[in-house]
Homo-oligomer: A and B are copies of this chain.
Amino acid sequence: MSDRAYSLFEEQQRARGIDLSQVKEQLKAFQIETPSWGYGDSGTRFKVFQKTGVPRTPYEKLDDAAEVHRLTGLCPSVAIHIPWDKVDDYGKLRSHAESQGLKIGAVNPNLFQDDDYMLGSVTNTDPAIRRKATDHLIECVDIAKETGSRDISLWFADGTNYPGQGDIRKRKAWLHEALSELYKALTPDMRMLIEYKFFEPAFYHTDLADWGMAYNYARKLGPQAEVLVDTGHHAPGTNVEHIVAYLIDEGKLGGFHFNSRKYADDDLIVGTTNPYELFLIFYQILSAARDDDAAIRSTVSNIAYMIDQSHNIEQKIPAMIRSVLNAQTQFAKALLINHEEIAEAQEKHDVLGAEDAVRRAFEFDVTPLLHAFREEQGLPVNPMKAYLSSSYGKDILARGKGGASW
């Protein structure tokens, strides 16, 4: 049935002007970084449910990430979080990764779990705390050198809960100071990715509250600074794909943290709440990938796709497999968009035709395509089934409970 399905699909797409061999080339190039902390226990402020089999060390997190990559072929790199993934010897950590076909991806400083940072890290009124926070940022560059990481991924939990608690403009300047110092510490091949967040854990004002603020820092700092879009970090009703298109156009989209949300920063599995939104994000990216301007194309090709989720009720590894498969599915659908058809409809002021051209691609079932693609890549056709029928999930139970939390 699977062969017939694929040849029918191919025929169908050819008739629409879509060449599946090119589609597969782009699928091959599509990679998603998984986060080390996505393999540990996390949860809500009400409760963290501890799961049996959760990795106890950064090394075991890499093992789990390698398993996800083996099954999906999608995840050759792993983001780390410092100090959660602090080890004595980062060279050893890197070797451990490489021995399993992985590399260490983005290095994520942590500036929100030290008592000193209660009222701000790099935006604290206390210069000693700002110093400590900035030093930690620079420490992460040093780690990145050892792990061979390209990206320093920055999320600041800094903000205030009450009017008056902080001086908004002073904090803005302090944040700039810290970022500037970090920027200077980067090696020429490194990037810093600046993440913004609408709210939480600060509830009145967040120092880096939206893409505009992140973009403006990145712009002032220089070409190695770019913006990181976390799909969950927006106000209700925000058009995320618009922001994505905007940042690409300015040459400042550095990467994504993928996850889903219905209300706030829910950190659910990407693609489970509004899969169409994810598809529309890829539509903007793929549209830009066809631009005449090489700078735009270069920005697109350097986008770092990363997962950032909090699996509080799910099994960690299957949740990660599902996440990357969902992203791949929507990416594959977006590859079926006929951009000429849309452009023509736009030109003719054919609103319904243009809308249809986009939505049509979303409605295809890309299962035949993905099955064929995986087969060609020597991957399990159904990575989730393959995982569930493997012994990996049972073997790790021996780790017991109480492994590493983020």
Residues of B within 8 A of A239 (CB): 204-206, 209, 262
Given contacts A280-B163, A313-B351, are A356 and B209 in contact (CB under 8 A)? no
Cβ B365 vs Cβ A313 within 8 A: no
Cβ A46 vs Cβ B199 within 8 A: no
Q: State in angstroms the CA–CA spacing of A250 and B264 once bound together.
A: 29
Interchain CB contact (< 8 A) of A364 among B125, B315, B365 = B365
Interface assignment of A392: CB less than 8 Å from any CB of chain B:
no
Interface assignment of A380: CB less than 8 Å from any CB of chain B:
no
- CB of A225, distance to nearest CB on chain B (Å): 16
Given contacts A46-B201, A359-B163, are A274 and B272 in contact (CB under 8 A)? no
Cβ A245 vs Cβ B169 within 8 A: yes
Residues of B within 8 A of A15 (CB): 1
Cβ B356 vs Cβ A203 within 8 A: no
Q: State in angstroms the CA–CA spacing of A245 and B172 once bound together.
A: 10
Q: State in angstroms the CA–CA spacing of A86 and B276 once bound together.
A: 41
Residues of B within 8 A of A358 (CB): 162-164
Residues of B within 8 A of A43 (CB): 45, 201
Interface assignment of A166: CB less than 8 Å from any CB of chain B:
yes
Interface assignment of A277: CB less than 8 Å from any CB of chain B:
yes
Interface assignment of A34: CB less than 8 Å from any CB of chain B:
no
How many copies the complex holds: the figure is 4
Given contacts A168-B245, A238-B235, A363-B367, are A46 and B112 in contact (CB under 8 A)? yes
Residues of B within 8 A of A379 (CB): none
Interchain CB contact (< 8 A) of A277 among B236, B274, B354 = B274
Cβ A5 vs Cβ B1 within 8 A: no
Cβ B264 vs Cβ A354 within 8 A: no
Cβ A119 vs Cβ B162 within 8 A: no
Cβ B354 vs Cβ A246 within 8 A: no
Q: State in angstroms the CA–CA spacing of A359 and B326 once bound together.
A: 10
- CB of A21, distance to nearest CB on chain B (Å): 20
Given contacts A162-B272, A165-B351, are A112 and B47 in contact (CB under 8 A)? yes
Interface assignment of A157: CB less than 8 Å from any CB of chain B:
yes
Interface assignment of A187: CB less than 8 Å from any CB of chain B:
no
Cβ A201 vs Cβ B1 within 8 A: no
Interchain CB contact (< 8 A) of A168 among B199, B242, B384 = B242
Q: State in angstroms the CA–CA spacing of A257 and B269 once bound together.
A: 30
Given contacts A163-B358, A235-B235, A238-B235, are A262 and B203 in contact (CB under 8 A)? yes
Q: State in angstroms the CA–CA spacing of A238 and B235 once bound together.
A: 7
Residues of B within 8 A of A180 (CB): none
> What are 7 A-B pairs with beta-carbon distances under 8 A?
A45-B310, A126-B349, A161-B312, A199-B237, A204-B262, A235-B235, A322-B352
5 tightest A-B CB contacts, nearest first? A212-B212, A235-B235, A236-B236, A164-B358, A203-B266
